[in-house]
Amino acid sequence: MKKTCIIYGSSTGTCQAVAEKIAVKLGVDADDIIDVANISLSTPDAYSNLFLGTSTWGAGELQDDWYDGLECLKKANLKDKTIALFGCGDSESYGDTFCSAIGEIYNALKDSGARFVGAVSTDGYTYDDSAAVIDGCFVGLAIDEVNEPDKTDSRICAWIDEIKDSL
């Protein structure tokens, strides 16, 4: 696997915990798990693979630190990078915007020259709507630690197994 980093934004620690689980599954070093609040324009330069994770807040918004982080990534050279997205949401209380924030990241970076991997079927999820669903699939891994924590590990494992040959 090429050099990989995991960039996450987490206000309550949930998305950070998911990022760390993904890192363990991929064998990514702790130094390459980065809080989005700490990235710079040059952060992507050292990596071929970028895993980007956010929780979804309010009416489908990004985690707060992602606003500046996304502006930074939009200015960075992402050409020929591979990007995989993951997000945390609450499908019961916020079923109409479940994991929508990963859709925001996707839409902001889809024309960056990066290659996106890791779309996930909506089968097995219960929610009303999501801006992260394009062509019938989530643009990345959707996790619901509030209502379905028992599914997190198996969803991460299945997702990584599906995309590992693309990394």
Return the pLDDT at 122: 97
Q: Tokens 């050279």, residue?
A: 77
Element (H, E) at 73: helix 66-75
- Residues 62/10, Cβ–Cβ less than 8 Å: no
User: What is the per-residue pLDDT across 111-153, written as a single tens digit (0 to 9) for each?
Assistant: 999 999 999 999 999 999 999 999 999 999 999 999 999 999 9
Mean of per-residue pLDDT scores for the chain: 96
- Residues 62/53, Cβ–Cβ less than 8 Å: no
Residue 7 confidence (pLDDT) above 80: yes
The model's confidence at residue 16, banded by pLDDT at 50, 70 and 90, is: very high
- Residues 54/66, Cβ–Cβ less than 8 Å: yes
- Residues 85/134, Cβ–Cβ less than 8 Å: no
What are the residue boundaries of the structural domains of the chain, listed by start?
4-166
Q: 4-166 adopts what CATH topology?
A: Rossmann fold (3.40.50)
The model's confidence at residue 103, banded by pLDDT at 50, 70 and 90, is: very high
Residue 58 confidence (pLDDT) above 90: no
The model's confidence at residue 59, banded by pLDDT at 50, 70 and 90, is: confident
Residue 1 confidence (pLDDT) above 80: no
Return the pLDDT at 108: 97
Average pLDDT over residues 34-50: 96
Average pLDDT over residues 3-10: 96
The model's confidence at residue 80, banded by pLDDT at 50, 70 and 90, is: very high
- Residues 143/150, Cβ–Cβ less than 8 Å: no
